[in-house]
Amino acid sequence: MQKTNLKRSVLHFTAAAALLFVASLGNAQSKYTESADREFERGGYSEASKEYLIAYNKLKGIEEKGRVSFQIAECHRLMLDLQGAADYYNKAIGFKYFKENPEVFFNYAETLREQNKFDEAVKQYNEYKEKGGDKSKANTRIKECEEAALALDQPPTRYVVEQVPVLNTEQFDYAPAWASKKGDELILSSSRSATT
């Protein structure tokens, strides 16, 4: 009787110790990303991506690596680094992050679409639909990709766009508008120090 109770006690103690160890690992992993998560929430995407990269190298669990890969991708997407974003969305998918968040497929497709990789984007939109994403949203994007791919196949326009040095400077020049009804005067906003 005492041996059975002793075995049970040892078994319970071992199970409790294992649970505490696993819980502490999960807690330690979230500590790696606390600062990066705060930076991301406040819009500091460059800083957040650097901190996520540091955390990524310390993490062991596939789930947390998937989430961190997704967050790095989001940082790159929001900084308009589309290729960097695509690379990390692909990693997040490899870590099966789509089981938690199918938006990884949609956002990956968006970065591919923005790079005119329409066929690859359509594949990701279809994955998004299959994994439980919004079918209507995906179908709209698929249609846009198909139309854009057709437009790229059209012959070039007869118009040639050339830079006009007096209008396009190294400073910020924007918002051109006709200043006369005849269309012979143009006005624009600029950050130049002098006007011409």
With a cut of 60, say whether residue 12 has pLDDT above it: no
The whole-angstrom distance between residue 66's C-alpha and the CA centroid of its chain comes to 13
Q: How far apart are CA 55 and CA 52, in angstroms?
A: 5
Single-letter amino acid code for the residue at 152 = L
| Counts for the chain of helices (H) and strands (E), in that order | 7, 2
Contacts of 75 (CB under 8 A, 6+ apart): 40, 45, 46, 48, 49, 52
Is 184's pLDDT higher than 90? no
**Going from the N-terminus, what domains does the chain have, and what CATH number goes with each?**
15-161 (1.25.40.10)
Give percent of the chain with pLDDT exceeding 70.
83
Query: Which residue is listed with tokens 């110790």?
Result: 17
* pLDDT value of position 26: 43
Q: What is the mean pLDDT of residues 126-133?
A: 93
The torsion angles phi and psi of 19, rounded to 5 degrees, stand at -65, -40
| Whole-number Å distance between alpha carbons of 166 and 31 | 54
| Torsion sign over Cα 117, 123, 125, 128 | negative
Q: Could you read off the pLDDT of 51-98 as tens digits, one per residue?
A: 999 999 888 888 899 999 999 999 999 999 999 999 999 999 999 999
Name the more confident of 146 and 187: 146
The percentage of the chain sitting over the pLDDT mark of 90, rounded to a whole number, equals 54
